[in-house]
Structure 1
Amino acid sequence: MVDTDAYVPTPRTNQGPLTIGWIGSPSTWPNVRPLLPLLQRMCDRHGVRVRAVGAGAEAERDRFDGLDLVTWSEASEISDVQAMDIGIMPLLDLPFQRGKSGYKLIQYMACGLPVVASPVGVNSEIVDPANGLLATSEVEWEAALERLIADPALRSSMGAAGRGRAVDAYSLASQAPRLVELFQAIAGRANLADGA
């Protein structure tokens, strides 16, 4: 769940290079590493930037021209996502990754970004053809990124669809009634167990 009153789209000014973005932590950066040669080619071919938020000091050895390594902070997290044009979530298909929540996809979508993700775990449920693209192989990742880089209207429509899905299905406001219902059910069972 995300606070979709805080994670909001910002106007795309079309000033400066298009930005492919990723947000995560040093422990999840290894999921991105297999795509780095492709991302470097995208930078070289199209003049795009890659913005990696939270990759940590280890990522310094992965740096290439076009890769911006940004230190994560709670204060700037939302604006860091809003500075992106396309959000990516590559995952290795391993047991730990299959259990991930897809939170970064929801952050991207809440900010109105189109997404490209590996179809691993819950990612396949979050991403649909209206809001993003799923990619397994490097060839699929390249095709997905090329398609979004070349088509501003597609980026815009997928971003809008993603925003709608984030608000309807993954926002604090949409989940609050379910949480209240859950807590009431738990409290009711506790009262029954106590003989109340």
Structure 2
Amino acid sequence: MAPSRPTRSVLIIEAGFLKSRHGKPVHGVELFRWYLIEQLIARGVQVTVYYDPAWRDLVRERFGTPDHCGTRGLHNRFTAPLGGTVSNAVHAIVDAKARGAGFGVVVFGNVCRGLIPAMQLAPTLRIGQRCMGFAHRRAAPNAVRCAKRLRMPIVAVSEHVAKRFREHGHDDATVYYGLPNADVFHPNETPREEDGLVHFVLLGRLPNVSKGMPKALAAWNLLRESVRDRCRLHLVAFIEPTPIAMPGVVAHTWTPAAEIPALLRSMDVMLALSSNETFSQAIVQGMLTGLPIVATSLPVYVEKLDTGGGIVADEPEAIAEAMQRLAKDASLRAQMGSAGRQTALERYVWRTDECIERFLFPHDGPAQ
């Protein structure tokens, strides 16, 4: 009989969890991390996570109780009300040490300046057998240099993010990312009831200008009236009610993550017009749903459309032309949507089992 393996344990020091939310909805990196945590404990991994006290109600809402999810394996802890990533991260490391905790791996995410003191302290206090980092955006040079000095393996969401580490001589940066809940994003299983309209959607945290809303509205105004009259532009979603006084434009208030899959299945085309992205979960959600994409020429968009899943267009005139082309041609929409979905399934689905064996516990060997 093979010898039993010690319980796998993870300490998560997540920069986003160590900031006050100030009433902001949970989305993006923090939501991804919650999905990952749930999948880790479902696989028998012991997980400890530290939060700023402002997260207490959000944690209770997500996991049932503030300090435990009701399932063996998860320990949610809260820092003192120190305020700020730097002090909260250091408090988390010191508190974990004071509790006598020892972890198989300490995970730092998102690697940034605010985590540098905690990154330096963790190996000194020996609270984990090893440390690693997740990088969801391009890290500051001093954070990169710190990770290099500590020989900390990095898992980056894209080549764009990994390149920053390699530029500073830290070659242990692997690109690996995807949607942890990819199975909920899929095309309609039965034909959608048609309303005679073509529905375009811009998905992101609005009114953040980097998400491309001004370009979307400018392109909308450039559509020929005969095309615009049989289309709708959905802006999803605003963190506060925001009326848009433009015919055919629908401004959605904040939409819970659980409702996004069904909403996307009611759409025909996705607009991905951000000026700054390091991965873009939104475009992958659209691709998995089978939507053709109209995207700007950001590298993280272009690499996702290289098999024909959409049209690259930067200026409002070109965006409007692409929208008109897709509005008129249902077969083209279906063709591009199918190509994009296949690409997303092959490249951008997160696999937690692989993450565990390849990155978190690479020296343990496969689970028995």
Q: For residues 265 and 225 of structure 2, what CA distance do their matches in structure 1 show?
A: 23
The DSSP-based 3-state class of the residue aligned with 1:20 is strand
Paired residue secondary structure (1:49): strand
Indicate which of 130, 135, 146 corresponds to 2:308.
130
Aligned to 1:177: 354
- Report whether the alignment pairs 1:39 with 2:39: no
Shift of 1:172: 2.6
Q: Distance in 1 between matches of 2:317 and 2:343?
A: 27
Q: 1:6, 1:78 within 8 Å by CA — same for their partners in 2?
A: yes
User: 1:41–1:143: structure 2 CA closer, same or farther, 3 Å change rule?
Assistant: closer
Highest RCO, 1 vs 2 (Cα 8 Å, sep ≥ 6): 1
Tell me the amino acid that sits aligned with residue 52 of structure 1: L
**Correspondent of 2:287 among 93, 97, 109:** 109
* CA apart distance, 1:51: 1.1
Q: Which runs of 5+ in 2 are unaligned?
A: 1-177
Cα-Cα RMSD: 2.3
> Is the aligned partner of 1:167 residue 2:345?
yes
1:29–1:55 CA contact under 8 A, matched in 2: no
Distance (Å, rounded) in 2 between the aligned partners of 1:91 and 1:38:
14
Aligned-residue offset at 1:27: 5.0
Partner Cα separation in structure 2 for residue 28 and residue 83 of structure 1? 24
- In the other structure, the counterpart of 2:246 is 64
The alpha carbon displacement at 1:70 in A equals 1.5
> Which of residues 176, 188, 197 is equivalent to 1:17?
197
SS of match in other structure, 1:153: helix
CA distance in 2, matches of 1:176, 1:28: 35
Choose 150-159 or 135-144, whichever is displaced more. 135-144
| Inter-CA distance 85–179: structure 2 relative to 1 (3 Å threshold) | farther
> Given the alignment of the two structures, is residue 77 of structure 1 paired with residue 260 of structure 2, yes or no?
yes
Displacement of 1:165 in angstroms is 1.0
Aligned mates of 1:111, 1:119 — CA distance in 2: 21
The structure number with the bigger radius of gyration is: 2
Q: Note the alpha carbon deviations across 1:130-187, whole angstroms, 9 max, x for none.
A: 11011012222122111111111110011111111111111134x74255312233x5
- TM-score, with normalisation over the residues of structure 1? 0.81
Same amino acid, percent of matched pairs: 22
Aligned partner (choices 31, 48, 55) of residue 238 of structure 2: 55
CA contact (8 A) 1:115 1:133 kept: yes
How far has the Cα of 1:104 moved from its partner?
A: 0.8
CA contact (8 A) 1:43 1:50 kept: no
* 1:144 corresponds to which of 317, 322, 335: 322
Q: What amino acid is aligned across from residue 78 of structure 1 in structure 2?
A: P
1: distance between equivalents of 2:339 and 2:240? 35
SS at structure 1 position matched to 2:267: coil
Pairwise CA distance, 1:120: 1.4
Distance 1:34 1:9, change over 3 A: same
Other-structure match for 1:28? 208
Measured against aligned partners, the alpha-carbon deviations of 1:110-132 in whole angstroms (never above 9, x if no partner) come to 00000011111411111225110
Counterparts of 2:187 and 2:336, CA distance in 1: 12
SS at match of 2:182: coil
Q: Letter of the 2:240 partner, please give it.
A: A
Residue type of the alignment partner of 1:45: S
The question of whether the paired residues in 2 share the 8 Å contact of 1:19 and 1:48 is answered with: yes
Change in Cα spacing, 1:88 to 1:179, as seen in structure 2 (3 Å) is farther
The amino acid that maps onto 1:48 is: C
How many residue pairs get aligned? The number is 180
Q: 1:65 to 1:160 in 2, by over 3 A?
A: same
- 1:100 deviates by 2.9
SS at match of 2:344: helix
Unaligned runs of 5+ in 1: 189-196
Cα deviation for residue 78 of structure 1 reads: 1.1
- Offset of residue 63 of structure 1: 3.2
- Structure 1 residues 82 and 23: CA distance shift in structure 2, 3 A: same
Q: Under a length normalisation based on structure 2, what TM-score does the superposition of the two structures give?
A: 0.45
Work out the CA distance in 2 between the residues paired with 1:179 and 1:13.
Answer: 42
